[in-house]
């Protein structure tokens, strides 16, 4: 199917042609005509599926016809600042031939001055994180009287991050006759309940993950005996000649800082990205990554959400994600725009259940490999060196995650279920998870290849 068949304004089609996209992705093929028809939508789609264009193109189509007034006609809510900035960038790219289009990003962590200035002018699209938007709303800075479309992007993640009250307060102050487009990795549980409150007669569009659209991501699991072993594995992986840029995930901000510092000492062009950094620092780091100056980015989940850097060839989970669904978001940072990528997870022996949880969630087995010369020893005792500051403590996670668990069912089981010893989850997992198969990675002299085999 061609983009020209979707019924979009010629100015939008011209911008799409300039991006070089050949044809709409499955989520775009289904969501764009449905959104243009005007009804509410609930769309389940994975990151990397082309979902941003799926909601932004129909919004821009409408904005191509100007209306009177100054307030936003489209509001997009996103969980993180990085994602908000990417969505704003997408709006500018796809809307570059729409006359006098004004898109503003309203995110936390940035100074108020420029945002107040931008909101003082007429605006068409606001892309915002919920907290900061509410701040501006409470100061009477935003007039939603001409709002036509509300988009909730990565709604599951916004709820996961505790934005439910903010989202509901924002929505309560938007016109009832708006169109609402909700995009989420899952439409079950708490997301489904929110959707039923904020949409009307919504059409459900479920896109089962389409690996062929998302580029080929080879997944691999390496078991590590202790922290020192993990560090050696990381060092070796980062010397793979096929590595262009790597994103390394850690469980804590402190670990992200420590590991990036250690890597820099070893001569890697490494940097950290996490929520304690100012927006200016984060922007500088992201710019470095996009320009290729930073080769290894060590990040926490929140900071890396929505990151879209095509050069990322490797995602390395130095620490496993706390929730199975985060794994999908993490590995989706590689294999962008149809390229291939590799996702390598380093796991302690006692984390086998988390691995099984991930496999169940993705319905894919993760191949277990070893690096020659760095094979794990025989299964060690449990007090094996992982109990240092880099591993986020189990009990504290209970408080953070408990309120949100209900709706996600088995898919969203978190490490909060794990006892203080990190021994595994309380509830017995379902049987029948995809099986992992043991493989050895080929060692070809210095060069280690991790291709599919």
The residue among 17 and 116 lying less far from ligand AMP, judged by its C-beta, is 17
Beta strands 447-448 and 443-444: pairing type? antiparallel
Instruction: Output the DSSP codes for 317-355.
Output: ESS--SBHHHHHHHHTTSSGGG--EEEEEEEEGGGHHHH
State residue 426 phi and psi, 5-degree precision. -70, -65
The residue among 24 and 341 lying less far from ligand AMP, judged by its C-beta, is 24
Instruction: Output the DSSP codes for 167-187.
Output: HHHHHHTS-TT-EEEEEES--
CA quadruple 398, 402, 407, 412: dihedral, nearest 10 = -10
The residue among 50 and 376 lying less far from ligand AMP, judged by its C-beta, is 50
Beta strands 443-444 and 367-369: pairing type? unpaired
Q: How far is the CB of 238 from ligand AMP (least distance, A)?
A: 24
The residue among 93 and 252 lying less far from ligand AMP, judged by its C-beta, is 93
Task: Tokens for 413, please give them.
Answer: 């089981």
Radius of gyration, alpha carbons of the chain: 22
Q: How far is the CB of 280 from ligand AMP (least distance, A)?
A: 24
The residue among 308 and 326 lying less far from ligand AMP, judged by its C-beta, is 308
Judged by the rule CB under 6 A, the positions of this chain that interact with ligand AMP are 21, 24-25, 28, 47-53, 308, 336-337
Q: How far is the CB of 308 from ligand AMP (least distance, A)?
A: 5
Q: How far is the CB of 452 from ligand AMP (least distance, A)?
A: 22
The residue among 128 and 237 lying less far from ligand AMP, judged by its C-beta, is 128
Q: How far is the CB of 205 from ligand AMP (least distance, A)?
A: 14
The residue among 310 and 387 lying less far from ligand AMP, judged by its C-beta, is 310
Instruction: List the beta bridge partners of residue 371.
Output: none
Q: How far is the CB of 254 from ligand AMP (least distance, A)?
A: 29
State residue 409 phi and psi, 5-degree precision. 55, -150
Contact criterion met (CB below 8 Å) for 88 and 127? yes
Contact criterion met (CB below 8 Å) for 125 and 90? no
Q: How far is the CB of 209 from ligand AMP (least distance, A)?
A: 12
For residue 284, what are the contacts with CB-CB under 8 A and spacing of at least 6? none
Q: Is 346 helix (H, G, I), strand (E, B) or coil?
A: strand
Q: How far is the CB of 44 from ligand AMP (least distance, A)?
A: 13
The upper half-sphere exposure of residue 255, i.e. CA atoms within 13 Å in the direction of its Cβ, equals 21
Q: Is 69 helix (H, G, I), strand (E, B) or coil?
A: coil
The residue among 308 and 357 lying less far from ligand AMP, judged by its C-beta, is 308
């Amino acid at each position: 199917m061609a983009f020209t068949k979707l019924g979009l304004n010629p100015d939008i089609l011209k911008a799409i042609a300039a991006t070089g996209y050949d044809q709409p992705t499955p989520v775009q093929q289904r969501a764009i005509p449905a959104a243009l028809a005007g009804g509410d939508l609930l769309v389940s789609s994975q990151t990397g599926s082309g979902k941003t264009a799926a909601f932004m193109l129909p919004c821009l189509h409408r904005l191509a016809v100007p209306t009177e007034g100054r307030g936003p006609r489209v509001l997009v809510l996103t969980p993180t600042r990085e994602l908000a900035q990417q969505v704003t960038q997408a709006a500018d790219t796809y809307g570059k031939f729409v006359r006098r289009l004004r898109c503003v990003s309203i995110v936390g962590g940035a100074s108020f001055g420029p945002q107040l200035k931008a909101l003082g002018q007429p605006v068409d699209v606001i892309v915002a994180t919920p907290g900061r938007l509410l701040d501006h709303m409470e100061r009477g800075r935003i007039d939603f009287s001409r709002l036509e479309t509300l988009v909730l992007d990565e709604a599951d993640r916004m709820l996961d991050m505790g934005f439910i009250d903010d989202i509901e307060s924002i929505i309560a102050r938007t016109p009832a006759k708006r169109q609402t487009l909700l995009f989420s990795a899952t439409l079950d549980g708490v997301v489904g309940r929110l959707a039923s409150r904020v949409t009307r007669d919504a059409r459900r569009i479920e896109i089962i993950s389409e690996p062929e659209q998302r580029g080929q991501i080879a997944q691999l699991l390496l078991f590590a005996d202790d922290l020192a072993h993990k560090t050696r594995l990381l060092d070796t992986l980062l010397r793979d000649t096929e590595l262009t840029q790597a994103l390394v995930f850690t469980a804590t901000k402190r670990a992200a800082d420590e590991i990036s510092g250690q890597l820099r000492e070893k001569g890697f062009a490494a940097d950290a990205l996490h929520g304690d950094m100012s927006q200016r620092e984060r922007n500088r780091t992201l710019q470095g990554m996009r320009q290729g100056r930073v080769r290894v980015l060590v990040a926490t989940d929140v900071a890396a959400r929505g990151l879209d850097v095509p050069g990322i060839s490797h995602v390395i989970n130095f620490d496993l994600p706390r929730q199975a669904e985060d794994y999908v978001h993490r590995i989706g940072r590689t294999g962008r725009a149809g390229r291939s990528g590799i996702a390598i997870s380093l796991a302690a022996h006692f984390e086998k259940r988390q691995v099984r949880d991930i496999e169940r969630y993705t319905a894919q087995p993760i191949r277990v490999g070893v690096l020659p010369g760095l094979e794990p020893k025989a299964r060690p005792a449990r007090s094996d060196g992982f109990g240092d500051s880099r591993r986020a403590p189990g009990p504290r996670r209970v408080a953070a995650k408990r309120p949100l668990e209900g709706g996600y069912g088995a898919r969203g089981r978190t490490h909060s279920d794990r006892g203080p010893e990190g021994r595994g989850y309380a509830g017995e997992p379902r049987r029948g998870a995809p099986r992992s198969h043991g493989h050895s990675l080929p060692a070809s002299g210095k060069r280690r290849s991790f291709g599919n085999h």
